[in-house]
């Protein structure tokens, strides 16, 4: 078997049990189906067996899957299709998430509220997509909210945080925000903070 992609190998080395780490941390399979889009991660790309199975046989959208597997998949998409073009990757993540949040499954959760109401109640909405991690918010101004995510150590690598920033920007935009910006920062192995501003 060929070696894992460098970003995938580096990520898995930070985790206590590699791809089997933190099974209590899950995401909805709808994220997997949406994230792949038209990006085919063929058999020539070496991936951990459970991630390969997830890609080759995507589960129904309502199933929960390990977030580590999702993170590996996103790192693989980024490296295989957007190597050295991070801005293009983030634009693709943003576009894919806007598409997802416009589907009937999520439209009522994200498109029928204001950006303020979306973020102030984001703890509940976070639970629509993720389990095993916790998010809290602090209002920093009339159009600025800080989201703090608590997670097991090193669940989120820097490229994952940047991708999640683009996904959050899509959510705020779907809620009617203009000129939204989102900046994510890993503050500790168990904490990521996102600063969201909009007009």
In a domain, 1, yes or no: no
What sign results for the dihedral spanned by CA atoms 193, 151, 41, 128? negative
As for how many domains the chain has, the answer is 1
In a domain, 186, yes or no: yes
- For the stretch 70-84, pLDDT in tens is 999 999 999 999 988
- For the stretch 20-29, pLDDT in tens is 999 999 998 8
User: How many CB atoms are closer than 10 A to CB 26?
Assistant: 20
In a domain, 11, yes or no: yes
Provide the domain limits for residue 134: 6-197
Whichever domain contains 173, its CATH number is 3.90.1520
Question: Angle of helix 158-174 relative to helix 86-101, nearest 10 degrees?
Answer: 40
Counted residue by residue, the chain has a size of: 199
Helices (H) and strands (E) in the chain, counts: 9, 7
Contact 24, 131 (CB under 8 A): yes
Per-residue pLDDT of the chain (199 residues; tens, 9 = 90+): 678 899 999 999 999 999 999 999 999 888 777 777 777 788 888 899 999 998 888 888 889 999 999 999 999 999 999 988 999 999 999 998 888 777 766 666 555 556 666 666 677 778 888 999 999 988 888 888 899 999 999 999 999 999 999 999 998 888 888 889 999 999 999 999 999 999 8
In a domain, 84, yes or no: yes
Three-state secondary-structure class, residue 7:
helix
Burial class (CB in 10 A: 0-12, 13-18, 19+), 188: exposed
The predicted pLDDT at position 143 comes to: 86
In a domain, 175, yes or no: yes
């Amino acid at each position: 078997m060929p070696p894992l992609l460098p970003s995938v190998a580096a990520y898995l080395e930070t985790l206590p049990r590699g791809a089997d780490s933190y099974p209590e941390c899950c995401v909805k399979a709808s994220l997997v189906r949406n994230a792949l889009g038209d990006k085919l991660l063929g058999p020539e790309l070496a991936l951990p067996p459970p991630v390969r199975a997830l890609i080759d046989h995507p589960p129904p959208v309502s199933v929960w899957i390990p977030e580590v597997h999702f993170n590996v998949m996103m790192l693989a998409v980024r490296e295989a299709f957007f190597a050295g073009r991070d801005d293009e990757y983030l634009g693709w993540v943003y576009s894919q998430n806007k598409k997802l949040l416009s589907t009937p499954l999520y439209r009522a959760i994200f498109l029928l509220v204001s950006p303020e109401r979306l973020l102030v109640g984001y703890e509940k909405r976070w639970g629509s997509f993720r389990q095993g991690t916790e998010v809290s918010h602090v209002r920093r101004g009339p159009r600025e909210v800080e989201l703090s995510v608590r997670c097991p150590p090193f669940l989120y690598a820097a490229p994952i945080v940047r991708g999640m920033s683009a996904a959050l920007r899509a959510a705020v935009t779907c809620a009617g925000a203009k000129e939204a910006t989102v900046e994510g920062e890993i503050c500790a192995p168990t904490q990521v903070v996102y600063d969201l501003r909009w007009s």
